[in-house]
Structure 1
Amino acid sequence: MALADLAVSIYQQFTALSLVQQILLVIGTPFVYNIVWQLYYSTRKDRVPLVWNWVPWLGSAVPYGMQPYEFFESCRSKYGDVFAFVLLGKVMTVYLGPKGHEFVLNSKLAEVSAEEAYKHLTTPVFGKGVIYDCPNVRLMEQKKFAKYALTKESFINYVPKIRAEILDYFKTSEEFDMANRESGVANVMKTQPEITIFTASRSLMGDQMRKLFDASFAQLYSDLDKGFTPINFVFPNLPLPQYYKRDAAQQKISSTYMKLINQRRETGDIDPKRDLIDSLMAHSTYKDGVKMTDQEIANLLIGVLMGGQHTSAATSAWFLLHLAEKPDLQEELYTEVMSVLGPKGGKLEDLSYEDLQKMPLVTNTIKETLRMHMPLHSIFRKVMKPLVVPNTKYVVPVGHHVLVSPGYAQTNERYFPDPFRFDPHRWDTEGAAGGDDATVDYGFGAVSKGVSSPYLPFGGGRHRCIGEQFAYVQLGTILATYVYNLSWSFKAGEKVPDVDYQSMVTLPLEPAEISWVKRETCVL
């Protein structure tokens, strides 16, 4: 009763104020609270240094969202490698560099949770029951199920399919139309999402599913990708057009998978070696005997294809743009491809998985692109138990988030000399320093236990991307097919575009166009 009386008294005093005073009080109170909270936080000797902010709730969202690496570096110069900032009402504790990678990515499952950090963001995109919308033990088994389609035998079969898809795209797409044109201009932010969705669906999902995919599916996956923005991180569902498009895309893609799954169930036409769809239909029973539902299989297929589509699309777009500035490097790549294919008659149709293993410059070009443009600029975890920062007195409390940024380390001169120079040859002699040969199996196969390297483009720990080898096969085939058939450059005065950080994926700002010309060896 006393609280009710107090509330009535406060309300009466508030209503007795003038309208101007009421407005000032409503607006000013959050600012006062924000300042008082930060002052109190700064007195805690067990808390990491906090980046000061003046705007309640918003915090440092603007500088972080516009230029995250510059924001991190400016904070590091003031506070060191460990600091915290407020992001849309959430306190993010950042630990930069290899020690930070070790701190977060190898933390115990009971201490930090990717599921709690991401599930509200990913569930509307992928669907229920998969990825982060399930216990971690389930996710580890889902990765194991998916790895049936990521074997060396599978990769050998994928290369000719990927090559065929690229050549067909060169022949029929508006950007190239190479059956009728000798040169032209291509927007890589249109071509590469389409090429990667076609090549990934053909190789991973099989011929039947590929026939159901057209260019509109690249747009659908783009609409899904727009579900991974900072605003989605805080508000997963809002009555806005981008949310409607996300949900419509998820339903369209899911129904397309379900159509084929239902057809195969009805006919009994299931061959685990044919494609990932059949593999999951045959191998998706958890250790406790529970089977994935067909809808969950469809949802997992969305996640698997998207995991490769948006990252490979961004990576291939970036290496095309960097190579447009470096005609000499293009010629080096062309020479390497031809030297490997030469003993086989120099024909692109003979390009094989084994050939890609003999092309170090192709591999290092991909590696260098991933160094400069790690697809995800930030990796989050939610703290589930008080987390002590090693060798400090700092404790990250329950409910806060920890953040690491391998992309920051990969573009920092402390770890890579001249970090903004695109130079695949740096990998001729330079390895991923600070690595660890020890491995650990989280349930989906052995992966490197060490995450103390500054170079972690595929993440690390139990959430390390399982598609790393497939990415190199897909991207290597794309790059080799490009340099065999085309040479390309920028129009006069143009250069590699800046990075667009609006999404969680680091994309080139448009326009991102290259001018291409057929080579003498072009097969079209």
Structure 2
Amino acid sequence: MSTIQTLALLAKAYAENLLALFLALPIYQKLSIIVFLPFVYNILYQLLYSLRKDRVPLVFHWIPWFGSAVPFGMQPYEFFADCQSKYGDVFAFVLLGKVMTVYLGPKGHEFILNAKITDVSAEDAYTHLTTPIFGKGVIYDCPNSRLMEQKKFVKGSLTREAFKTYVPKIREEILSYFKDSQNFRVGEKDHGVVNVMESQPEITIFTASRSLLGDEMRTKFDASFAGLYADLDKGFTPINFVFPNLPLPLYWKRDEAQRKIAGTYKDFITKRRANNDIEDRDLIDTLMKNSTYKDGVKMTDQEISNLLIGVLMGGQHTSAATSAWFLLHLAERPDLQDEIYEEIQRVAGDEEVTYEMFQNMPLVNNVIKETLRMHMPLHSIFRKVINPLSVPGTSYVVPRGHHVLVSPGFSHTNEAYFPQAETFNPHRWDDDFKYNNNNGNTGADTVDYGFGSVSKGVSSPYLPFGGGRHRCIGEQFAYVQLSTLLTTFVKTMKWRFPEGHHVPPVDYQSMVTLPTDPAEIVWELRK
């Protein structure tokens, strides 16, 4: 008998003896071992991990699998700051069974957002979360090359000429909302109280649908249709990220909303095709005319419908959250409201504000910019590592199957980069006002990933729309929509907080940094 066979027999006998001893124990002792064994394994795993010189420091945690989910989920920026003080800019933590390697600061932005597509994958990180919401064949449910081309298709409706037509449509929608919504009822009332976490998601979806999808599709966006988008929006939660398909009412509503919205879009597309009614009116026409990939494959009508959901949902998060936050911050700053009003009057006079006028309204632009600094909609951006990834300047290697995490929002609110970071101060950007320059790029060094040139460098501490190949293509549309929202609010009304209220804390329970509900302001018509 060989040595290996002998060792195998001894190991088998030892295991059988351990099992026999376990089975002979009283039931309470068995339960104790079953409960505490994972904790023992967890401690031993972390001890062995800490001995490896090729692994980044691991944040210690007591509870197996859950890891640091509670502190990260409750206060991510405080969690990052605490870990940074102990381990430096690079560290790892366990999040619901996944090992997340964090690299904070501008060097981390460069390391992760500009990592090679052969080394990290956004698709593998997000598809289980986004596919049930957007649908099959689009965004992260397709190869990255397909996504880059889809972004290029969409950009056909995000031109300056298109923006000029969007501004009056967006303003008209906002004024109609002021008049008709139960949140305001302007005309019947000249003052009232509104929860911005109810008003802004509705205004955002109505204005986006009117401008991007056209007048005819907008007629379908009543309160019930907006409610379907709200059901979809609830799919962007941490539990959906970890468990994308549970037999729960929340998931059933999400799936039903996706089917109904996509079905509505598809029926609309079918009708236009049947009537040969394809012009250049909106994003739907754009995609019907131009959605053929370089290899000759055409997007199906179902995929176009799914992509329309993705486009509106992407903007919904950013603009709804950002507009809610700037309304709340300005509720504490009546002086800034008056200053914005004076800027509008100086530029527009008695005329309606146009797209071209925004170029001469630095304070409007800087209020949005400062809001995005303090409240970047996504506090964390993930990628899944598909090839071992070396951390520059260290001996660390992030192994395949782990995730990397970058947090531009942490830099946005860090005193090292923005003095008095917790203070809402739009004037900090006065010297940097470059609205609409070079598609939002600040440097000449650009790269085209397939959807147009964007800034190649991502080492800036300020990246509210991400960077690299997954940079948001809706940045300029967001500024158009938000600028129109802000100027229309300021021209129409003044607002403040109810007595004793202040800017609410951030609610991190969602995947988006939202104000804690209820977030109410008191408004009155401007005389």
Q: TM-score range by the shorter chain?
A: over 0.9
Query: Does 1:217 find its partner at 2:225?
Result: yes
Aligned residue for 2:490, secondary structure, equals helix
Describe the shift of the 1:123–1:333 C-alpha distance in structure 2 as closer, same or farther (beyond 3 A).
same
1:504 to 504, 507, 511: 511
Show the counterpart of 1:37.
Answer: 45
Describe the shift of the 1:40–1:358 C-alpha distance in structure 2 as closer, same or farther (beyond 3 A).
same
The separation in 2 between residues aligned to 1:335 and 1:188, in whole angstroms, is: 24
Show the counterpart of 1:377.
Answer: 379
Q: Which range moved further: 103-112 or 245-254?
A: 245-254
1:516 to 496, 499, 523: 523
The separation in 1 between residues aligned to 2:92 and 2:473, in whole angstroms, is: 30
Q: Which range moved further: 71-80 or 7-16?
A: 7-16
How many corresponding residue pairs?
513
The separation in 2 between residues aligned to 1:192 and 1:33, in whole angstroms, is: 48
Alpha-carbon displacement from aligned partner over 1:231-279 (angstroms, at most 9, x marks no partner): 22221111122212211221121111112111112211111x1110111
2:383–2:405 CA contact under 8 A, matched in 1: yes
Show the counterpart of 1:140.
Answer: 148
Query: Does 1:127 find its partner at 2:135?
Result: yes
Query: Does 1:162 find its partner at 2:184?
Result: no
1:27 to 32, 35, 38: 35
Show the counterpart of 1:425.
Answer: 427
The separation in 2 between residues aligned to 1:15 and 1:248, in whole angstroms, is: 49
The amino acid that maps onto 1:292 is: M
Aligned residue for 2:194, secondary structure, equals strand
The separation in 2 between residues aligned to 1:291 and 1:450, in whole angstroms, is: 33
Show the counterpart of 1:15.
Answer: 23
Query: Does 1:466 find its partner at 2:473?
Result: yes
Aligned residue for 1:429, secondary structure, equals helix
The separation in 1 between residues aligned to 2:225 and 2:331, in whole angstroms, is: 28
1:308 to 307, 315, 321: 315
1:160–1:352 CA contact under 8 A, matched in 2: yes
Show the counterpart of 1:330.
Answer: 337
The amino acid that maps onto 2:70 is: V
The separation in 1 between residues aligned to 2:421 and 2:69, in whole angstroms, is: 26
1:196–1:309 CA contact under 8 A, matched in 2: yes
Following superposition, the deviation at residue 12 of structure 1 comes to 4.8
Show the counterpart of 2:462.
Answer: 455
Aligned residue for 1:160, secondary structure, equals helix
The separation in 2 between residues aligned to 1:240 and 1:469, in whole angstroms, is: 38
The separation in 1 between residues aligned to 2:316 and 2:14, in whole angstroms, is: 57
Show the counterpart of 1:438.
Answer: 445
The separation in 1 between residues aligned to 2:194 and 2:502, in whole angstroms, is: 15
Query: Does 1:181 find its partner at 2:189?
Result: yes
Query: Percent identical across equivalent pairs?
Result: 70
TM-score (norm 1): 0.95
Following superposition, the deviation at residue 16 of structure 1 comes to 2.7
Show the counterpart of 1:151.
Answer: 159
Following superposition, the deviation at residue 436 of structure 1 comes to 4.0
Show the counterpart of 2:4.
Answer: none
Following superposition, the deviation at residue 19 of structure 1 comes to 1.1
Q: Which range moved further: 200-209 or 245-254?
A: 245-254
Q: Which range moved further: 128-137 or 6-15?
A: 6-15
Show the counterpart of 1:270.
Answer: 278
The separation in 2 between residues aligned to 1:437 and 1:10, in whole angstroms, is: 68
Alpha-carbon displacement from aligned partner over 1:53-81 (angstroms, at most 9, x marks no partner): 00000000000000000000000000000
The separation in 2 between residues aligned to 1:288 and 1:371, in whole angstroms, is: 40
Show the counterpart of 2:438.
Answer: none
Show the counterpart of 2:404.
Answer: 402
The separation in 2 between residues aligned to 1:366 and 1:216, in whole angstroms, is: 29
2:362–2:433 CA contact under 8 A, matched in 1: no
Aligned residue for 1:443, secondary structure, equals coil
Show the counterpart of 1:62.
Answer: 70
Following superposition, the deviation at residue 493 of structure 1 comes to 0.5
Aligned residue for 1:428, secondary structure, equals helix
Aligned residue for 2:93, secondary structure, equals strand
Aligned residue for 1:328, secondary structure, equals helix
Show the counterpart of 2:118.
Answer: 110
Following superposition, the deviation at residue 128 of structure 1 comes to 0.5
The separation in 1 between residues aligned to 2:403 and 2:353, in whole angstroms, is: 46
The amino acid that maps onto 1:203 is: S
Following superposition, the deviation at residue 444 of structure 1 comes to 0.3
The amino acid that maps onto 1:291 is: K
Aligned residue for 1:440, secondary structure, equals strand
- Where does structure 1 lack aligned partners over 5 or more consecutive residues? none
Show the counterpart of 2:203.
Answer: 195
Alpha-carbon displacement from aligned partner over 1:478-520 (angstroms, at most 9, x marks no partner): 0000000100000111000000001110000011011001012
2:67–2:97 CA contact under 8 A, matched in 1: yes
Alpha-carbon displacement from aligned partner over 1:302-326 (angstroms, at most 9, x marks no partner): 0000000121000000000000000
The amino acid that maps onto 1:279 is: T
Alpha-carbon displacement from aligned partner over 1:106-164 (angstroms, at most 9, x marks no partner): 00000100000001111011001000000000000000000011001110110010000
For the aligned residue pairs, the C-alpha RMSD in angstroms reads 1.7
The separation in 2 between residues aligned to 1:8 and 1:193, in whole angstroms, is: 61
Alpha-carbon displacement from aligned partner over 1:376-428 (angstroms, at most 9, x marks no partner): 00000000111010111111000000000000000000100000100000000
Alpha-carbon displacement from aligned partner over 1:18-70 (angstroms, at most 9, x marks no partner): 21111111111111111010000000001111100000000000000000000
1:381–1:401 CA contact under 8 A, matched in 2: yes
Query: Does 1:494 find its partner at 2:480?
Result: no
The separation in 1 between residues aligned to 2:52 and 2:386, in whole angstroms, is: 20
The amino acid that maps onto 1:426 is: R
2:413–2:422 CA contact under 8 A, matched in 1: yes
Aligned residue for 2:387, secondary structure, equals coil
- Where does structure 2 lack aligned partners over 5 or more consecutive residues? 1-7, 435-440
2:55–2:397 CA contact under 8 A, matched in 1: yes
2:39–2:64 CA contact under 8 A, matched in 1: yes
2:200–2:324 CA contact under 8 A, matched in 1: yes
